[in-house]
Structure 1
Amino acid sequence: MSEAGVIHDIGYQRYQGPRLGRGAALGALYTHGLRTVFGLGRSAKSKIFPWGVAGIILLVAVINAGVRSQTGTWLFDYFAIADRMSLLVIFFAAIAAPELVSRDIRSGVLPLYFSRPLRAADYATAKVAALVTGIWLLLGVPQFVMFLTGAFTTKTGMKGVWHELGLLIPGWGYSLLWALLFASISLLVASLTGKRAFAAGGIVALFLMTTPVVGVLNLLPSQTAHHLSGLASPITLISGVEIWLRDRTDIGLDIGDLGPVYAIEAVCLIAACLLLLLARYRKVASL
C-alpha cells in the first residue's frame, strides 16, 4: 500500500483582476461606514433610530419653513437648527460611532484591515469622514429645505435667492463644525472599547455631564470665570464660536472678548481627538 499523499484540484485560482490599492480600499471603507451610520444594508431595527432622528429634525425644518412661508419670519435661522437639535445630534453620534468602530474591535477584524494595503491612518480617516458626513447631512439637508422655502417665497427675484444662499452657506459651515467636533470626540471614545453599549454611554455622558460644569462656573463671582465657562462643554464651546463669529448676544452665554479663545480651543480639541484616534489605531496596527 502506497503512503504517498494525493493532491486534489478543487478549483482555487489566483486573482487576475486589477489591484486598486489604498485609495480604493479607503473609498470602500468610507462608503461602507456612511451606510453603517444610517443603518443601510442592515436589519430594519438598525434603521429605526438614525432615520427617526433624521425625520424629526427634517420635520422641525419643514415646520419652520412653513411658518416662514406664512408669516415671513423664521422660528429659528440656519445656525440655530443645530443648537436646537443638539440633544438629538448627541444621541445620533452616540449610536453611530460605536457601530463604526466598536464592532470592529470586538470582532477582531482590525489585523485583517491593517495587513495590506490599508494603513491605520486610512482606517481612521475613513471612519471620521463617514461620521462627519453623516452628522453634516443630518443638519445640512434640513437647512437646504429651509433654503428652498426662502428661495421660492422671495419677492426680490434672483437677488433674494442669492441673499438666501449667502445665509445658507455659513449655516452649512457651522453644521460642518458641529460634525467635526462631535465625530472626533465620539469616535475617540468609541475606539476605546469593543462594547457598543459602554461606548454609547460614555459618549452621552461626556457631552451631557460637562454641561452642568458651565452652570457651576457661572455661579462664581468672577466675571472671567463667566466668560470662560463655555469652554468646559463641547456644546457651549461651539455656541461660543457662533457668538464670536456672528456677534450674537441672545444665546444665553457671555463670552466677553474671548471669542478667539473659543475658536482656538475648538480647533485644538478637534485636532487632539483626531491625533489620539490615529495613535490608537497605529498602536493596534503595530501589534
Structure 2
Amino acid sequence: MSDAGVIHDIGYQRYQGPRLGRRAVFSSLYQHGLRAAFGFGRSAKSKIFPWGVAAIALLVAVINAAVRSQTGTWLFDYYSFADSMSWLVIFFVAIVAPELVSRDLRSGVLPLYFSRPLRAFDYVSAKVAALVTAAWLLLGVPQFIMFLGGAFTTKTGMKGVWHELGLLLPGWAYSLLWALVFASISLLIASLTGKRAFAAGGIVAVFLMTTPVVGVLSVLPSDTSRHLAGLASPMSLIAGVEAWLRGRGDLGIDVGDFGVIYGIEAFCLIFACLLLLLARYRKVAAL
C-alpha cells in the first residue's frame, strides 16, 4: 500500500465575481442599521416601539399644523418641536443603539466583520450614520408635515412658501444637532456592554440623571454659575446652543455671554464620543 497522498478534485472553484470592497460593506451595514432601527426585517413586536414613537411625533405635528391653519399661530415652532420631542427620542435611541452594536458584541460576530476588507472606522461610521439618520427622521419628517401645513395655508403665495422654507431649514439643522448628540453618546455607551438592558439603562441615565445637576447649578447665587449650568447636561447643552445661535434669552435657559462656550462644548462632546467609539472598536478589531 502506497504512503503517498492523493489529491481529489471535488469541484471547488475560485470566486470569479466582483469584489465590492469597503464601500459596499459600509453601505450594507448602514442600510441594515437603518432598517433595524425601525424594526424592518425583525418581528412585529420589534416594530411596536419605534413606530409608536414615530406615530406620536407625527400626531403632534399634524395637530400643530391644524391649529396653525385655524388660528394662525402654532403650538410649537420648528425648534421647540425638536426640544419637546427630544425626550421621546432619548428612549428611542436607548432601545435602538444597543440593537445596533450590543448585539454584535454579544454574538461575537465582530472578528468575522473585521476579517473582511472592513476597518473599525467603516463599522463605526456606518452605525453612527444609521442612528443619526433614524433619530433625525423622527424629528425631520414631522417638521416637514408642519412645513406643508404652513405652506398650503399661507396667504402670501410663493413668498410665504419661501418664508416657511427659511424657517424649516434651520429647524432641520437643529434636529440634526440633536441627532448627532443622541447617536454619539448612546452608541458609545452601548459599545461598552453586550447586554442590551444594561446599555439601555446607561443611555437613559446619562441623559436624564444629569438634568437635576443643571437645576442645582442654576440656583447658585453666582451669575456665572447660572449661565454655565446648562453645560452639565446634554439636554440643556443643546438648548443653550439654540439660545446662543438665535440670540434669545426666553427659551428656558440663560447663557449670558457664554453662548460660544456652549457651541464649543457641543462640538467637543460629539467629537470626543466618536473618537472614543472608534478607539473602542479599534481595540476590538485588534483582538
TM-score range, shorter chain: over 0.9
Following TM superposition, by how much is the alpha carbon of 1:15 offset from its aligned partner in structure 2, in angstroms?
2.1
Distance in 2 (CA, whole Å) between partners of 1:220 and 1:230 is 13
CA distance in 1, matches of 2:117, 2:89: 34
| Superposition pairs of residues 86-97 of structure 1, within 5 angstroms | 86-97=86-97
What do the CA deviations read for 1:77-115 (whole angstroms, capped 9, x no partner)?
Answer: 011111111210100010010000000000000011111
Q: Quote the residue 1:145 is aligned against.
A: 145
CA distance in 2, matches of 1:206, 1:9: 60
Of 248-257 and 138-147, deviating more is 248-257
Q: Which residue of 2 aligns with 1:127?
A: 127
Deviations 1:111-136 (A, max 9, x none): 11111200000000000000000000
Moved segments of 4+, more than 3 Å: 1-13
1:13-55 Cα shifts (integer Å, max 9, x gaps): 4322110100011011100010011111100011100010011
Q: Could you tell me whether the CA contact under 8 Å between 2:86 and 2:178 is conserved in 1?
A: no
Distance in 2 (alpha carbons) for counterparts of 1:254 and 1:241: 11
The answer for the alignment partner of 1:33 in structure 2 is 33
Distance 1:12 1:102 in 2: 36
Distance 2:141 2:68 in 1: 17
Q: C-alpha distance in 2, partners of 1:10/1:147?
A: 64
Instruction: Report how many aligned residue pairs link the two structures.
Output: 287
- Could you tell me how far 1:9 is from its partner in structure 2? 6.3
Aligned to 2:284: 284
The amino acid that maps onto 1:234 is: P
Cα gap change, 1:61 to 1:14, in 2 (>3 Å)? same
Given residue 200 of structure 2, which amino acid in structure 1 is its aligned partner?
A
Distance 1:216 1:174 in 2: 27
Question: Which residue pairs with 1:170 in the alignment?
Answer: 170
* Identity level (%): 81
Give the TM-score, by structure 2 length.
0.97
- What's the counterpart of residue 207 of structure 1? 207
Q: What does residue 190 of structure 1 align with? A: 190
Residue 8 of structure 1, CA deviation: 6.9
- Residue 268 of structure 2 corresponds to 268
Q: Distance in 2 between matches of 1:10 and 1:47?
A: 46
Structure 1: stretches of 5+ with no match in the other structure: none
Corresponding residue for residue 102 of structure 1 = 102
Structure 1 residues 8 and 41 mapped into 2: Cα distance closer, same or farther (>3 Å)? farther
Unaligned runs of 5+ in 2: none
TM-score, normalised by the number of residues in structure 1: 0.97
RMSD value, Cα? 1.5
| Alpha-carbon distance, 1:11 to partner | 5.4
Partner of 1:77: 77
Aligned residue identity for 1:135: A
Q: What code does the residue aligned with 1:86 have?
A: S
Mean Cα displacement is larger for which, 257-266 or 11-20? 11-20
